Structure 1
Amino acid sequence: MSDHVPLDEFQALETILHGFLLRELRVPCMIDVGAHHGTSLEPFLRAGWRVTAFEPVEDNRRQLQARLGHSPNLAVRSEAVSDQAGERTFHLALQLDGTLHEYHHSLEQFNEDPWHRKGPQVRVTTVTLDGLIERGELPSQVGYLKIDTEGHDLAVLRGAGKLGCEVVSVEFWNDQHDFGPSPSPARELVSLLAGRGYGAYVTVARQRHDTQVLYSTLEGTHPAAWGNLIFFHDSRRELYDRLRGSPEWRMATRQAEVIGDLWRQLEEKEAVLQHLLKTAREREAVIQRLEGHIRQLEANPGLVRRLVRWVRARQR
């Protein structure tokens, strides 16, 4: 799941998932594509796993190295991962005040949204996971592949056909998200991985304060939702079933549902209150106009007498 979500029910699910994977996966090796500051990889590294982290943004990579670079089990690489090796333009994002944004940097190019604007473009070296496997720089089998590349996940997977994973996590967002349609549509991610033997997956979708957890389906997610898809290889299908049945996971998903329901109720009540406030303001405006007319009449007695005579004349 994404590194850039406040600590809430969404990250609570991530914490439970990571604990589950640490207990259950057989190959203690992780590849993190789009590692950011290392929040996702940290529990695996601390458990003694070997981790290869890809982070092409220099500021993020510096913070990752400062936090976790002392570990001999961590290899941090500066390349951007894609479906072709070479050199490409990498798009940096800025805060609204012009400083470098912490997130939203990508090989993909997006329109500006309420949270960031376009920044400078830099040239980066791109690699494929397949190419690194062929050169002996990556293992051909890992327990966990996590990808979070701000829309480039599909290309990363296309360049990783030779990599065997027990579990794969990718990011998605739907067409009505502020970013617009994703370059890595969820259905294409599902289709590609299904063809590689990942038939079972968990959808964790977020829209505002609402977090949904669905199983091997995308149906029912909000048109503007974003989140993660966690795929289980058919050879480890029992992990998918075991996670679904885990009391800790079930409790967390239920909690997410309850919190989402409460937020929806609050938003509905807020909408009613806003409507009442709007009605009250409109009535107040009418009252103020009437009071203005009354003051004008009080300031002009002659006008009042003329109006009275006019009304009486109309009544005859």
Structure 2
Amino acid sequence: MTRPRFSVVIPTRNAAVTLEATLKTCIEQDFEDYEIVVSDNGDTTATQERIEGINSPRIRRVRPDRTLAMQENWEFAVEQAQGEFILVLGSDDGLMLHSLRELDRLLRKLDTKLLRWDAVCYNWPNLPVQEHAAPNTLLLPLKQVGYYHPIRSRDSRQVMLDVVNGKISYAELPTVYVSVVHRSLFDALRKRTGKVFHSDCPDVYSGFALAHLVRKYWTVDAPLSISALSGASNGVAVLYLKNQSNIARDFSTLNQSRKTGRDWPAWIPDLPIFSSYSAESFHCAKAALFPNDTEMQVDRQQLVRLAMSEYRSADETEWQMLREVVRKSTADDAALLAWFDAEYGGKSLVTCPPAPLHQLKRYGGPYMQLDAAEFGVKDVWEAALLCEKVLGYHRDGINAHVHQEQIASPSSVSVAAGTASPGPVAVDTPRDGVYQQETEAMLLKSLAGKVTRKTFIDVGAEKGSFARELLELGFDGVLFEPFSAHLPVLEELVSHTRSKVFPFAIDATDHEGRLHIATDEAGQPLDYFHSLQAAPSATLFHHDEGVPVICRSLESLAQEGVIAPEVGVLKIDTEGNDLRVLQGMGVVRAEVLMCEYVTPQLYPDWSCSFPDALMAAARAMGYEHCIAVSRFDEHEVVELDPVHFVDGQWGNLIFTSAAILHSARIDVEKIRACRQEHHVKLCFREHLELFQKEDMIQDQARQLHEKEAVIRQLADALENLQTELGAKHAKIAELKDKVTLLKEKNENLRMKR
């Protein structure tokens, strides 16, 4: 059975009143390859009846054998999903009309397993009236940079710390409510902890857990779903209504039923507020996934401040209750308790009111806030229709690109004529499947415009990302790719052209070899890292399996007439075997030659791709000049002769003649200068971040000094008490002696009488 591309999973309990509109947003998608899984955890047949009334073959209703708590129902629901990627919706949430089609495109563009987005927020008409959440309102994110929605890479650890310490909202995490997740990530969580979700708030917990699994994740500042609040929401019942509703009581009762006693950590204020539930979810994630990570800690003083400012007390009595609950959470830390008493002990609701609510403008800024009732909207389906009328993303698609500093793009360079176009260098858009190598693609296209032979050889073509660039320039090529899963994509790419695809692995000699298949942590094959050279030391992938492949040398292929001995461009990317390809070239030559290199710190097993050896081989073949594109983390540097390497880098080496480099010099220098500017800005940003971290460390040191001072004061007080107690003990002993003497005198007097 072929997996669907997507599973839209909807865990629900007694929410049939909103579920029908939610399902309609899922059914009306301009996309075919998906399923809808509804986990019916309700007490009645209402959900079943609504689903039967809709009568869609896409919907698969599943039902647990007993009533489950929210966390358990989510666990059960995602276990039923069969799709490659999984989305989770609340039973009052919705998809936008463009959601699945655009998600599929963005996932292929970014080649990622985790993608987060900004959601539209919708308040149903039945939402209980709140000070900060009006019923039947719609909030649309309009975040754009230069007329496009930016796609950004987020540092997972930093986001986790910023969320749990109140610097940013938990919505910035890749939670399952606003993210699409490859099933292998869920499998990895189950493998490590036995299940996906571990907290009473599975959505917030999922954000911490998924962020921990990936060092960085992509987030797009464009809406791809609708996060809604309604009278049936658990979050509304618990957080907005302060547990004062039947839904909240049901939520609490079911949570209690799945465990003995309440396991809420005593150091987290037991309050219905976002800060407390974020801290509890972080605590659960840390206990399950990274218990020994000493850097990932909650700033408890900050948590106390957040609790005292976030909770909205109705009167002085409720504020006094708030203070006692928060104070109780500090009881295990004498210094923190002393600080709390000094900070809040003499305060009242009048002197310590909650933080003012953020007031959004109705129009303007990064959001648009609409009164949905003015447009006749009554539910999340009609909200999705209104979003399309306002935004037009179903009609036009989402204009979303990776946000980066300005870099030269092929559109700003006249490749054929060899002259740079006037005006500023345009911002390049990322290319599908190039895997962060957009700069190499631009350089290759610029140089390709100067070669005399409009032919190319692509060794290790993978899915043909570089070949596609050259085919668009009118080149004819021969593509070699031994990983069978990529061959249908390549065959489709070269169809209707004179180019050809061969399933050979290219090596120094002709022989039968073994291709080591790269898999992720869950054992799923990756799109790349498959190599003739095993890499047992690698940490990003595993070479546990291998398949037999036919290995050919370029020299023998030229002798047989499969390839021409002279071509315009030869691109080599064999994941650790590039030097052996060069050693088997024989008489084959290219006007432009590109090889991928790695350094020993990254892949010590791939010595056939170390840069010095590749440079020496290219020089021996007569190549006069080298352009090196080198990367380290987010940094990227372009160098022309001479080039330098630092252990820990990876990148590509582009070799060519003096004549071709001279004719393309303006374009190459423009690309190099733009990358250099980006590199300098990134260094400056990191320099500022180091200063900020130093300030944070110094602030933490000051806090420690303050705690030490409090501890010293407490120690001095204790010493004084002990001194006083000693004096009192001595006084008591003295009194006892006097009592004894008096007793003796009394006894003597009695005897004399």
- State whether TM-score is above 0.5: yes
Cα distance in 2, alignment partners of residues 281 and 118 from structure 1: 44
Alpha-carbon separation, structure 2, partners of 1:42 and 1:307: 88
Question: Once the two structures are superposed, what CA deviation does each residue of 1:240-289 show, in whole Å capped at 9, x if it has no partner?
Answer: 12222x1x332221111111111112222222322332333344344335
Q: Which residue of 2 is the match for residue 288 of structure 1?
A: 707
Aligned partner of 1:150 among 551, 575, 583: 575
Q: Determine the structure 2 residue equivalent to 1:229.
A: 653
- Is the counterpart of residue 192 in structure 1 residue 617 in structure 2? yes
Q: Provide, for residues 100-122 of structure 1, a one-character-per-residue CA deviation record: whole Å limited to 9, x for no partner.
A: 12221111111344422233111
Q: Classify 1:308/1:149 alpha carbon distance in 2 versus 1 (closer, same or farther; 3 Å).
A: farther
Instruction: Give the TM-score normalised by the residue count of structure 2.
Output: 0.37
Does structure 1 residue 61 correspond to structure 2 residue 482?
Answer: no
How does 1:23-34 map onto structure 2 within 5 Å? 23-34=449-460
For residues 68-217 of structure 1, the aligned pairs below 5 Å read: 68-177=493-602, 179=604, 182-217=607-642
SS in 2 for 1:41: helix
1:94-148 deviation per Cα after TM superposition (whole angstroms, max 9, x unaligned):
1123211222111111134442223311111101111111111111111110001
Q: Which structure has more RCO (C-alpha within 8 Å, separation ≥ 6)?
A: 1
Aligned length: 300
- Classify the secondary structure of the residue corresponding to 1:40: helix
Aligned residue in 1 for 2:260: none
Aligned to 2:184: none
Task: Flag the 1:12–1:93 CA change in 2: closer, same or farther, 3 A.
Answer: closer
**Alignment-derived partner of residue 218 in structure 1:** 643
In 1, distance between residues paired with 2:548 and 2:654? Answer: 31
- C-alpha distance in 2, partners of 1:263/1:60? 35
Change in CA separation of 1:307 and 1:263 when aligned onto 2, cut-off 3 Å: farther
Structure-1 residue corresponding to 2:478: 52
CA 1:307–1:54 in 2, change beyond 3 Å: closer, same or farther?
farther
Partner AA of 1:186 in structure 2: P
Mark the runs of 5 or more structure 1 residues left unpaired by the alignment. 310-316
**3-state secondary structure, aligned to 2:544:** strand
Shift of 1:82: 0.1
Calculate percent identity across the aligned residue pairs.
23
Q: Equivalents in 1 of 2:672, 2:541: separation in Å?
A: 31
TM-score (normalised: structure 1): 0.84
Provide, for residues 172-214 of structure 1, a one-character-per-residue CA deviation record: whole Å limited to 9, x for no partner: 1223335566323222212222122112221221222222222
Structure 2 stretches lacking a partner, 5+ long: 1-109, 113-152, 154-401, 408-435, 729-753
| Structure 1 stretches of at least 4 aligned residues deviating more than 4 Å after TM superposition | 3-12, 178-181, 292-301, 306-309
Which shifted more, 274-283 or 254-263? 274-283
Bigger Cα Rg = 2
Whether 2:243 is the aligned partner of 1:243: answer no
Q: What SS is found at the alignment partner of 2:574?
A: coil
- Decide which moves more: 8-17 or 21-30: 8-17
| Equivalent residue number for residue 262 of structure 1 | 681
Q: How far apart in 1 are the matches of 2:536 and 2:727?
A: 65
Aligned residue type for 2:462? H
Distance 1:4-1:199 versus aligned 2 partners, 3 A rule:
farther
Q: Distance in 2 between matches of 1:109 and 1:278?
A: 43
Cα RMSD after superposing both structures: 2.9
Query: What is the identity, as a one-letter code, of the residue corresponding to 2:481?
Result: E
Question: How far does residue 292 in structure 1 lie from its aligned partner after superposition?
Answer: 5.0
